[in-house]
Chains A and B, each alone.
Chain A
Amino acid sequence: MGLTWTIVTLVIALGLAWRFLGSYMAAVFEGRVHFLGWAERPVYRLLGTSPDQEQTWKRYAGALIVFSALSIALTYVIIRIQGSLPLNPQHLGAVPPALSFNTAASFVTNTNWQNYGGETTMSYFSQMGALTVQQFVTPAVGIAVAIAVVRGFSRRNSPTIGNFWVDITRCLLYVLLPIAFVAGIIFVGQGAVQTLAGPVHIRNALNGVTQTIPRGPIGFMEAIKQLGTNGGGFLNANSATPFENPTGLTNWLSIFLVLCIPFSLTYTFGKMVGSVRHGAALLAAMVIIFGIWVGGTTIAEHQQNPAVAAAGVHANVGNTVGKEVRFGDTSTALFGAASTSTSTGSADASYDSFTPMGGFFLITGMMLGEVTPGGVGSGLYTILIYAIIAVFIGGLMIGRTPEYLGKKIQAKEVKLAGLGALVMPIAVLVLTAIAVSIHAGRAGPLNAGPHGFTEILYALTSQGNNNGSAFAGLTGNTAFYNVVGGIDMLIGRFGIMVPAIALGGVLAAKNVVPESLGTFRTDNGMFVGLVIGVIVIIGGLTFFPAVSLGPIVEQLSHGKFF
C-alpha cells in the first residue's frame, strides 16, 4: 500500500472514529451507556462506591494517587517475585530492584519505557498480569483525568467533578476492552503470535547453531499496546518484528489504534461541553501540527542518508538504515511520527538511525508536550492546559477578563495551567543537565558529540513526556538511568495530572458567563492559530537551545561524524 493510500484510508477511518467513537465516549462518561451493567454494578459494590457518589477534585486526585501508588507497588512486586509465580516457562529470575522500579514507574505512567528486553527478562505472568494490566488501566486513568477536566467546563457551580472509580471502570468496560478485543483478533489473525507454550529452539543443521525463538501472548497485548498509547512491546524489537507487527495491515492498524482515541476525545470534549465546534477547534490544532510533523519526518527520511552521501555514494533511495524493508522509509516515518506525537513510543524501526532532521521531528514531537494528539486522555487534558494559556493571552488582547467556554480564566486557573505547562520542560532539562554532568550519565550514550547528547536528551524527553520511545544507542539499564528515568516519568505524569484535575475542580465551581459579541471566540481559526502558537512557542522557547546542540548541529554538519 503506497503512502498516499495509507494516509487516505487512515484519514477516513480516523474521521469516522472521531465522529462516532467520540460521541460514544461522551455517552459512556455521561452515564448513558449501560449494556454491560451486569459487569459494572459488582465492580462498584466491590469498591464500595456508586455513580451517585461524586467526588471533589481533591478526592478525585486522591483516589487517582492511591490507585497509581498501588499499581506501582503491585507491578514492582510481581516482577520482583516472578520466579516464584506461574507461567514462567523460561524460568526467568527476579528483575533487579532499580530496573523493577523503572519498569513499574514506566508502565503505571503509561510511558512504557523499557530498559529491558521483554523476551529475556519478563515471564509470561509478568507480561500479562503486571504489564498488560497496566496497559489497560493507565489509559483509563488518563481518560478519566481528561473527562474530569472536561466536566470542569461542562458543569456550573458544581463542587464535584465525577467519580474516579466509576470513570475508570466505565472506560475499561465500554471503551478499551471491546476495541482491544476486536483489534487483538485482527493482530492474531494476521499472524501475531499468541501462545503460552514458551519459546521454541531451532537447530540450524547447516551451521550447527541452536536458535531460540521467543514466543508468548503477544497478539492481544499488541492491541492494547497501541490503543492505549502505551507502546511497550512484548519483544525488545517492538513493532519492528513480524511477531508483533506481522503485515502491512497490522502496521496500518497500529497507526490507526494509536491515533483513534486521542483524536476522538476532542469530539467527546465538544459533545460534553455542548459545542462540537470547540472540539473541532482543538482537533484542528492537533491535526495541523501533527500533519507538519508527519510531513517533516517523511521528507527527512525520504532523503538519502547524509552519511552515505558524504561518503560520495549517490543512491536513489531514502534513508533505509535501521528500517524494515517491508514497511519502507515513508511508512516508517509515518509510524514514527504517530508514535512520538501520541506518547505511545512504539517503534517499527530504529529511531537512532533516522536522519538528524527525522530525529529532530521525533524528539520535538514529544517536546511539544504530547498534545498532537498526545496520549490517551493526557493529550486532551494537556492541550486544554495550553488552550487556557492561549485563552488568557488572547482574551486580554480583546479587553475582557479571558473566558473559555464561559469560564473565567483568572489567577487560580493561570497558576494551575502554568504549573501543568512548566513541569515537563523543567523535569526534562534539569534531569538532562544532571545526566550530562555526572559520570554515570555520561557513560550512557553509544555515540560521541551531538548524537550522544541527543541520545541522552531523547531518553529523558521520552520519559518525561510519558512517550517511552527509545532512540536506542543509550545504555539505559543502569542504576542511574533507571532511577532518574523513573523519577522523570512520575513527574511527567502526575506533575501534570494533579494540576489538571485541580483545574477541572476550580472550573466546575464557577458560573458560566453568557456568550456575547464581545466574547473571545474559542471555536474559530484564529483561536486554532493561537493554540498552535502557544504550543509551538512554549515548546520552542524551552527546548530550542537544547535541540540546537543536538539534532540541529548534526543536520548542519551534513553527515560528518563526531
Chain B
Amino acid sequence: MTATATAPEPTQPEPPTGGRGVATARGLFDGEILRQALLDSVVKLNPATQVRNPVMFVVLVGSVITFIEAIAHPGVFTWSITIWLFLTVLFANFAEAMAEGRGKAQADTLRKMRSETEARRLLPDGTEELVPAATLAKGDLVVCEPGDLIPSDGEITEGIASVDESAITGESAPVIRESGGDRSAVTGGTKVLSDRIVVRITAERGQTFIDRMITLVEGANRQKTPNEIALTILLAVLTIVFLPVVVALQPFGRYAGASVSVVVLVALLVCLIPTTIGALLSAIGIAGMDRLVQRNVLAMSGRAVEAAGDVQTLLLDKTGTITLGNRMASEFVPVGGHTEEEVASAAQLASLADETPEGRSIVVLAKERFDIRERRLEGDHQFIPFSATTRMSGLDVDGRRIRKGAAESVKRWAAEQEGTVPPDLDGIVERISRVGSTPLVVADGPDVLGVIELKDVVKQGIREKFDEMRQMGIRTVMITGDNPLTAAAIAQEAGVDDYLAEATPEAKMSLIRTEQEGGKLVAMTGDGTNDAPALAQADVGVAMNTGTMAAKEAGNMVDLDSNPTKLIDVVEIGKQLLITRGSLTTFSIANDVAKYFAIIPALFVATYPQLNALNIMKLHSPQSAVLSAVIFNALVIVALIPLALRGVKFRAAGSASILRRNVFIYGLGGIIVPFAFIKLIDLVLVALHAY
C-alpha cells in the first residue's frame, strides 16, 4: 500500500460479529446441516471414499470381518461389537459431513447470487448490445448503470460509481469504485447504486471471484496441507504398527493355550489405532477454513492457513492497520507572541470548508479547547481549496486572508506579503515532525500565527496485540511511506518491533526476501497493484477486497472486510488449527493405555486367571469390558466433534505455557478420562442387564 499510504482509507468497522456476507450465522449444530450430514455420513461409507482415510478404512474392514463372524456365529456380543464398529465409522463420516455441511450452506448462498442476468456489452462503435452474462469473454467492455448487477469480475475503465458489495462482504455501506488507481476492481454479482461505469471484464466465465469462493467454501477440491499429510503419515504408522501387535496375539494366545476370538481382536485393533484423531482430522481442517470464512477471510488454500500459524514476521502497513489512517489535530502551538486561542480561531476559520477528516478534527479541537463555535459566515467570503501547487487551503473573509498548509508553503506565502517568519517557528515544526506528527502552519495574511499539530492516531488496543504477537514469537514490522523520523516515533508508540520507512515496493520485496532467506515465514497485507509482487512473494499474502484485481490474484487470501488488522486473527486461526490436530492426536494415543487395561485381561483371563489383577477398572466381565472399550471409542468421536469444529481454545502465550497446558489437558486427561468412562459404560451395560 505504499503508493496510497497517506490517502485516507475508507473507515472500516472492527471485525464482524458474524451474520454478514458469506459468513451466514449458523449455530454449530444447525438443524438443516445436521440432517444433511446424517445422510452424507451414510453416503460416505462407499469404500472408494473411505479408503482416503486409512485409519477409518481399517475400522470399516474390521466391522465387515465382525459382521461376517456375527452371521456365522450369531450372538448378542458379536452383534453389539459389529454395530458399534459400524457406528464408529459413521460417526467419523458424520464429523466430516458436519464440517462440509457448513461450507455447502455458504456455497448455496453464493450460488443464488451468481448473476444470470444480461449484460450491456459496449461495441467498438459506441453502441450497446444486450447479451447473456454467460457469454462475456475476457476483455469485453460492459456498461453498468444504477440498479444493474455487475455481470462479472472486471476493472473500471471509465467513470466512478458507488457499488453495493454487501452480497460478498456483508457490509451494507456502499463503496466507491473508480477508474484508474487502486479502487478500480469490481466483483461480479455486486450492484451499482449510482453513476455510470464502463467495466472491462477480466475473468473468464466460471473463474470469477464468486466461482472461486464457491469452490473454496465447499471444499470440493480440498487438498491436504503439509502438516496434515505429515500427521496422516504418523497415524498410518501407528495403524500399521498395531496390526502385527494385534494379529500376533492370536498365535501368542494359542501358544498359551487360549482361544482368542477374532471379534475381540478386531475390537482391540480398532481401540488401539488412533481412530479419534483419524475420524476428526479432515473435519478439523475443513472447520479451520470455515472459521476464516466466518471472519470474512477467504483463503485460497489450506496451505496458506497453515503457513499463517508458522509466520514469524508480520509486515503491517502503518495506515489503516496500526494507525486509524486519519491524522487528527491534537495541539495548537502559537509562535511569535501570539496566543493559542488566536491560532485555534484562525485554524478553525481556515478549516470550515475543509471536509477532510483532518479539517473536521481541527474544527472540533478548537471547539473543545476554547469553545469556539463553528461560525456561520455571512457576507463576502471565499474558500480557498487545497491545491497541489500551493499546498495550502484557507479562507478569505472581511479582508483577512487566512491560510493553513505545509510549513514551507506558508512561509513562502508570508514572505511574498513581506511578513516575517517568527524565529521559533522552525524549531516547533521540527519538533512536531520528529514525534511523528504532521505540522500545519497557520497564517493570517503576512502574520504567521502558529502551528497545528496533526497526530497520526494509533489504534486503541493495537499495542496489546503486538505484545501478544511478541509472546508468540512473532516479529512485527511496520511499513510506511513516512520519513524515518516520523516512522520511528509511531513505531515506538504502537510498540512494533521494527519499521521500514520511506518504503518502496522494491524495499518491501527485499525485506521479505531477506526474512525468508533467514528461514522465516512472512505475512503481509496489501491492496495496490504495486503490492502484488510482494503479496506473491510473502508466505501469507492477504489482499484487501477493496484492492485491485492484481493484488487479489497475487495474494493467497482475500479479506472481504478489507481490515488489515485481521492478519493477526488469521495467524491465530492457523495456530489453532495445528493445536487442535496435535492435541487430539495426543489424546487419541493416550487413550490406548486404558483400553489395554480393559481388553488384555479380558482376552486372557480364562487362560491365566492371574491376569485379572490387570483389570484395575474391575469391569464386570470380559465381554462387557471389550464392549465398553469399543463403545467409549465410538462415543468419544461424537463427543469431540464440537471441539474439532470449534478448535481447541487458543490464547496468545509463549510456546512453553501452551504446551504445558495442552499436554496436561489432552495428554494426562487422555490417560485418565477413558478409565472413568469405560468404567461408567460398563456399569450402564450391567445395569441394563446386557451382561
- Bound Cα distance A541, B582 (Å): 19
Query: Nearest chain-A residue to B245 (Cβ)?
Result: A542
Chain A, residues 385-409, CB within 8 Å of chain B (1/0): the string is 0000100111111111100001001
Contact B310 A557 (CB under 8 A): no
Q: How far is the CB of B619 from chain A (nearest CB, A)?
A: 16
Contact B579 A399 (CB under 8 A): yes
**Pick the contact of B592 from A413, A425, A541, A553 — CB < 8 Å?**
A541
**Pick the contact of B614 from A450, A517, A548 — CB < 8 Å?**
A548
Contact B473 A396 (CB under 8 A): no
- Bound Cα distance A432, B245 (Å): 11
Contact A410 B611 (CB under 8 A): no
Taking A436-B255, A516-B473, A518-B312 as contacts, is the C-beta distance between A397 and B586 under 8 angstroms?
Answer: yes
Chain A, residues 501-536, CB within 8 Å of chain B (1/0): the string is 000000000011110111111001010011001000
- Bound Cα distance A151, B250 (Å): 43
Taking A410-B227, A453-B252 as contacts, is the C-beta distance between A524 and B656 under 8 angstroms?
Answer: yes
Contact A422 B241 (CB under 8 A): yes
Taking A397-B586, A516-B312, A556-B611 as contacts, is the C-beta distance between A421 and B226 under 8 angstroms?
Answer: no
**Pick the contact of B519 from A394, A406, A540 — CB < 8 Å?**
A406
Contact B655 A533 (CB under 8 A): no
- Of the candidate stretches B14-22, B406-414, B661-669, the one touching chain A is B661-669
- Bound Cα distance A389, B608 (Å): 36
Taking A421-B237, A520-B655, A533-B667 as contacts, is the C-beta distance between A549 and B256 under 8 angstroms?
Answer: yes
A546 cross-chain contacts in B, Cβ below 8 A:
245, 248, 252
Chain A, residues 407-437, CB within 8 Å of chain B (1/0): the string is 0011101110011011001100110111011
Contact B309 A545 (CB under 8 A): no
Q: B residues 530-555 with Cβ under 8 Å of A?
A: none
Contact B245 A425 (CB under 8 A): yes
Chain A, residues 199-222, CB within 8 Å of chain B (1/0): the string is 000000000000000000000000
Q: Does B43 contact A (CB under 8 A)?
A: no
Contact A556 B613 (CB under 8 A): yes
Taking A453-B255, A520-B659 as contacts, is the C-beta distance between A396 and B233 under 8 angstroms?
Answer: no
Q: B residues 609-628 with Cβ under 8 Å of A?
A: 610-611, 613-614
Q: Does A537 contact B (CB under 8 A)?
A: yes
Q: How far is the CB of A186 from chain B (nearest CB, A)?
A: 43
Q: Does B650 contact A (CB under 8 A)?
A: yes
- Bound Cα distance A400, B655 (Å): 9
Query: Nearest chain-B residue to A449 (Cβ)?
Result: B256
Contact B237 A422 (CB under 8 A): yes
Tell me the interface secondary structure of chain A in the complex: helix
Q: Does B230 contact A (CB under 8 A)?
A: yes
Q: Does A480 contact B (CB under 8 A)?
A: no
Contact B582 A396 (CB under 8 A): yes
B520 cross-chain contacts in A, Cβ below 8 A:
513-514
Contact A418 B237 (CB under 8 A): yes
Contact A393 B233 (CB under 8 A): no
Contact B582 A394 (CB under 8 A): yes
Q: Does B471 contact A (CB under 8 A)?
A: yes
Tell me the interface secondary structure of chain B in the complex: helix
Q: Does B472 contact A (CB under 8 A)?
A: yes
- Bound Cα distance A184, B639 (Å): 64
B121 cross-chain contacts in A, Cβ below 8 A:
none
Q: Does B249 contact A (CB under 8 A)?
A: yes
Q: Does B596 contact A (CB under 8 A)?
A: yes
Contact B248 A518 (CB under 8 A): no
- Of the candidate stretches B2-10, B82-90, B137-145, B570-578, the one touching chain A is B570-578
**Pick the contact of A399 from B231, B234, B246, B658 — CB < 8 Å?**
B658
B581 cross-chain contacts in A, Cβ below 8 A:
396
Chain B, residues 492-510, CB within 8 Å of chain A (1/0): the string is 0000000000000000000
**Pick the contact of B233 from A415, A524, A544, A545 — CB < 8 Å?**
A415
Q: Does A552 contact B (CB under 8 A)?
A: yes
Query: Nearest chain-B residue to A438 (Cβ)?
Result: B251
Q: Does A19 contact B (CB under 8 A)?
A: no
Query: Nearest chain-A residue to B592 (Cβ)?
Result: A541
Contact B309 A426 (CB under 8 A): no
Q: How far is the CB of B649 from chain A (nearest CB, A)?
A: 12
Q: A residues 342-392 with Cβ under 8 Å of B?
A: 389, 392
Query: Nearest chain-A residue to B614 (Cβ)?
Result: A548
- Bound Cα distance A413, B306 (Å): 18
Best-surrounded residue of B246, B252, B585, B589 (most CB of chain A within 10 A)? B252
Contact A526 B660 (CB under 8 A): yes
Q: Does A442 contact B (CB under 8 A)?
A: yes
Contact A393 B604 (CB under 8 A): no
**Pick the contact of B608 from A401, A419, A519, A553 — CB < 8 Å?**
A553
Contact A437 B659 (CB under 8 A): no
Interface residue tally for chain A (C-beta within 8 Å): 64
Q: Does B283 contact A (CB under 8 A)?
A: no
A537 cross-chain contacts in B, Cβ below 8 A:
589-590, 592-593
- Bound Cα distance A511, B582 (Å): 24
Contact A516 B613 (CB under 8 A): no
Q: How far is the CB of A301 from chain B (nearest CB, A)?
A: 21
Q: How far is the CB of A353 from chain B (nearest CB, A)?
A: 21
Q: How far is the CB of A536 from chain B (nearest CB, A)?
A: 10
Chain B, residues 211-252, CB within 8 Å of chain A (1/0): the string is 000000000000000110111011011001110111111111
B614 cross-chain contacts in A, Cβ below 8 A:
548, 552
Query: Nearest chain-A residue to B253 (Cβ)?
Result: A549
A421 cross-chain contacts in B, Cβ below 8 A:
237, 241
Contact B234 A429 (CB under 8 A): no
Contact A549 B252 (CB under 8 A): yes
Contact B244 A430 (CB under 8 A): yes
Q: Does B600 contact A (CB under 8 A)?
A: yes
Contact A396 B237 (CB under 8 A): no
Contact B611 A553 (CB under 8 A): yes
A553 cross-chain contacts in B, Cβ below 8 A:
604, 608, 610-611
- Bound Cα distance A142, B245 (Å): 28
Contact A425 B241 (CB under 8 A): yes
Q: Does B272 contact A (CB under 8 A)?
A: yes
Contact A397 B666 (CB under 8 A): yes
Q: Does B475 contact A (CB under 8 A)?
A: yes
Taking A410-B226, A415-B233, A544-B596 as contacts, is the C-beta distance between A397 and B663 under 8 angstroms?
Answer: yes
Contact B251 A437 (CB under 8 A): yes
Q: How far is the CB of B488 from chain A (nearest CB, A)?
A: 23
Contact A399 B575 (CB under 8 A): yes
Q: B residues 558-596 with Cβ under 8 Å of A?
A: 574-579, 581-583, 585-586, 589-590, 592-593, 596
A519 cross-chain contacts in B, Cβ below 8 A:
473, 655
A429 cross-chain contacts in B, Cβ below 8 A:
244-245, 248
| Sample (25) of A-B pairs whose CB atoms are under 8 Å apart | A393-B234, A393-B582, A396-B581, A397-B579, A397-B662, A398-B578, A399-B574, A415-B233, A433-B248, A437-B251, A437-B255, A450-B608, A513-B520, A516-B474, A517-B470, A520-B659, A526-B659, A526-B663, A541-B589, A542-B245, A544-B596, A545-B245, A545-B246, A548-B614, A553-B604
Give me 15 other A-B pairs in contact (C-beta within 8 A), A517-B472, A542-B242 excluded. Answer: A397-B583, A397-B658, A398-B579, A414-B237, A429-B248, A433-B248, A437-B251, A518-B654, A538-B241, A542-B241, A542-B245, A545-B603, A548-B611, A549-B608, A557-B608
* Chain B contacts to A: CB under 8 angstroms: 226-227, 229-231, 233-234, 236-237, 240-242, 244-256, 272, 306, 309-310, 312, 470-475, 518-520, 574-579, 581-583, 585-586, 589-590, 592-593, 596, 600, 603-604, 608, 610-611, 613-614, 650, 654-656, 658-660, 662-663, 666-667
Q: 6 closest Cβ contacts across the A-B interface?
A: A518-B473, A396-B582, A399-B575, A516-B473, A418-B237, A556-B610
